[in-house]
Structure 1
Amino acid sequence: MHVPTWVWLATIGGLLGIILIDLLVVGRKPHVISIREATRWVLFYVGLAVLFGLGVWAFAGGTYAGEFFAGYITEYSLSVDNLFVFVLIMTGFAVPAEHQHKVLLVGILIALVMRGGFIAVGAAAINAFSWVFFIFAAFLIWTAFSMLRQGIGGDEEEWTEPKVVSLVRRVLPVTREYHGARLSVRVDGKRWVTPMLIVMLAIGLTDLLFALDSIPAIFGLTQEAYLVFTANAFALMGLRQLYFLIGGLLSKLVFLSYGLAVILAFIGVKLVLHALHENELPFLNGGQPVPVPEIGIALSLSVIVGVLIVTTVASLVAVRRNPALAGSTHDQPEPAGALDPAQDAEGGDEQAVTAERGTSER
């Protein structure tokens, strides 16, 4: 699939334009996102992804369109599980409800830029070394095993603050309280950053960690960097509104981790078969391709959609029969406040004075 440079630039420009419109329309006046508003935006972004996929079908053919849709659905479904962690971050930082949309928007923009770098490196590695597929496959299968182990009897992983965020806190002075949507404020002539900047970094960097399994997974469905990038972009853009739409539904998807584990394991097996088919390792079949069957994109798409449907229906039925299941998974912590007081002790008096004098943004 040959994608001219101008198509890349037009696509990136179009995506940035859509995000800018979102920011201007939704973010011009901070407010709590309602279920109705979130539903409209989710449908809007899903509709955009469908139209884009149909465009790929029209200009590049059904195979590439199938790869895009399979990648988009996989990325979106993996992102739903990530929403559990976003809830923990928002709660732990006590982000005001009216500013959560902006936090997610900027955080996901940070993640999208960094994911673009990951995708470029992954595509270059795959083009140069076919054995990289074995590494991706092993990582996906191990991730699937870990998810199953946690779901069966292990404890849910708790979110831990990325080290980069902790470093920012140590290097830059951070206020105790939020100052509206401001990222920084001036206190008696000294510039301070607010918890708003810290939580945006936390969202962006945490999502980047999620990409460690989602990007290898989508490379198992398509090796076209353009499709990998656009599938990630559409999934991330729709993730913000999905956060507000299904916040109350998250605790009811009690079998989601099992379904995602099955999908990751399936893609891992698909990668192994593809790696054997493209084999160049001298110690394996004398460096010649191994004649194994490969899994087509139609079967991949069917398995992914089928597993998600079964997982969702089974979860809702199980919770309806036993409502206690929803309360026993992904419990949210009590708000921990914006910062550890010990990390911001020096700024307490200054900020108390600032509350009376007012603050100004650079």
Structure 2
Amino acid sequence: MGVPAISWSATGILLVLVAWDLTAAGRAGPLRRCTLLLVAQLLVAALVGAMLLGTSGSDVATQFFTGWATSLAATVDLLAVLLSVAAGMETVAVVVVVGVLARGALAFADAPLVGVVSVVFGAAVLWAAWRAFRGEGDPPRPLAPRLATAAVVLAALVLALLSAAATREVTGSAPLVLLAGVLALVGFRHVFGLLRGLLARVPDASVGLAVVLVFIGVKSVLAGLSGVGPAHDARVVLLTLGMVGAVAALGAITAARRAAR
């Protein structure tokens, strides 16, 4: 079984998981559902990596995992943007659909003006960071519904373009770009819901969000000015994920300490 066959089979499974993410309701609580989806994402990634290792060698398997990490970093960027405009769950569902379609289309198409798009996106994110910082510790103020929808859909399209360009450079394979892009969106809606609830309870939430947005904005601007678009270096990917995790952990610890007083 070659790379395309593995990619198409796994992508079909992932699309089912994304659809379940968008429609699931009822007995399972949001934390449990989110955990199940993220575990499923990890299991699919491990299975695909093992199959690629056995059929195509370690180089292809490494390319897949690097491409997945790159797409996951872009997904984290998108989460931060959605949180900064206080998007609603209905809007997030639209964003997931747009993200899947855009990442699928761009996996097989050349991304135009990647450097310019990266700079403009970074500048917009820095503006969002300033807006979050001015919240003086309160949760982000929601934008007007139509403006928020337009902003997050545009962000989903831009990040799909940047993610596809970076992942293609890493993997050199359109099927792997498609697989990595869809894989990174599994569980997105429920992760957003959990983070939104956390922001509503954590003191100084907007300040922590502003820090994350500044990092994302500066990273995007510098990558665009270099003319190569989004940085896909593994260290940058890990730093992005680590930054978000550290801010979330500090916020949770601060909230717990204040609640104990």
Give the TM-score category using the shorter length: 0.5 to 0.7
Distance 2:244 2:45 in 1: 18
Percent of matched pairs sharing the same residue = 17
The residue that corresponds to 1:242 in the other structure is: 191
Matched, 1:124 2:69: no
The residue that corresponds to 2:102 in the other structure is: 115
Distance 1:34 1:160 in 2: 29
Distance 2:135 2:49 in 1: 42
Structure with more of its chain in helix, by fraction: 2
The residue that corresponds to 1:150 in the other structure is: 131
Alpha-carbon distance, 1:117 to partner: 6.2
Residue 220 to residue 18, structure 1, CA distance change in 2 (3 Å): closer
The residue that corresponds to 1:263 in the other structure is: 216
Q: Which SS does the other structure have where 1:258 is aligned?
A: helix
Q: Which SS does the other structure have where 1:237 is aligned?
A: coil
Distance 2:131 2:213 in 1: 12
Distance 2:100 2:30 in 1: 29
Gaps of 5+ in 2: none
The residue that corresponds to 1:316 in the other structure is: 252
Alpha-carbon distance, 1:32 to partner: 5.9
Equivalent in 166, 169, 178 of residue 229 of structure 1? 178
Equivalent in 243, 247, 253 of residue 307 of structure 1? 243
Matched, 1:136 2:117: yes
Alpha-carbon distance, 1:142 to partner: 0.7
The residue that corresponds to 1:160 in the other structure is: 144
Matches within 5 A, 1:1-362: 4=4, 6-7=5-6, 9-19=8-18, 22=20, 27=24, 31=26, 33-35=28-30, 37-48=32-43, 50-51=45-46, 54-55=49-50, 58=53, 59=56, 60-79=60-79, 81-82=81-82, 89-90=88-89, 107=94, 110-116=97-103, 119=106, 123-126=109-112, 132-153=113-134, 156=140, 158-162=142-146, 207-219=152-164, 221-224=166-169, 225-251=174-200, 252=202, 253-254=205-206, 255-275=208-228, 297-320=233-256
The number of equivalent residue pairs is 242
Conserved? CA contact 2:71–2:184, under 8 Å: no
Alpha-carbon distance, 1:146 to partner: 1.0
Alpha-carbon distance, 1:56 to partner: 8.1
CA root-mean-square deviation: 4.2
Distance 2:253 2:220 in 1: 27
Give the letter for the 1:152 counterpart: F
Conserved? CA contact 1:138–1:268, under 8 Å: yes
Conserved? CA contact 1:75–1:235, under 8 Å: yes
Residue 230 to residue 162, structure 1, CA distance change in 2 (3 Å): farther
Task: Kindly provide the CA deviation profile for residues 245-277 of structure 1, in whole angstroms up to 9, marking residues without a partner as x.
Answer: 44531323541242133034224323433539x
Q: Which SS does the other structure have where 2:111 is aligned?
A: helix
Distance 2:159 2:232 in 1: 19
Give the letter for the 1:272 counterpart: L
Alpha-carbon distance, 1:211 to partner: 1.0
Distance 1:81 1:298 in 2: 22
Conserved? CA contact 1:89–1:159, under 8 Å: no
Distance 2:197 2:231 in 1: 36
Distance 2:50 2:224 in 1: 27
Alpha-carbon distance, 1:64 to partner: 4.4
Task: Kindly provide the CA deviation profile for residues 58-111 of structure 1, in whole angstroms up to 9, marking residues without a partner as x.
Answer: 3414244223213213313532552576x7535xxxxxxxxx8xx976x46632
Distance 1:56 1:135 in 2: 37
Conserved? CA contact 1:63–1:297, under 8 Å: no
Residue 222 to residue 109, structure 1, CA distance change in 2 (3 Å): closer
Q: If the length of structure 1 is used for normalisation, what is the TM-score?
A: 0.52
Conserved? CA contact 2:104–2:178, under 8 Å: no
Alpha-carbon distance, 1:46 to partner: 3.7
Gaps of 5+ in 1: 91-99, 127-131, 164-201, 277-293, 324-362
Conserved? CA contact 2:117–2:224, under 8 Å: yes
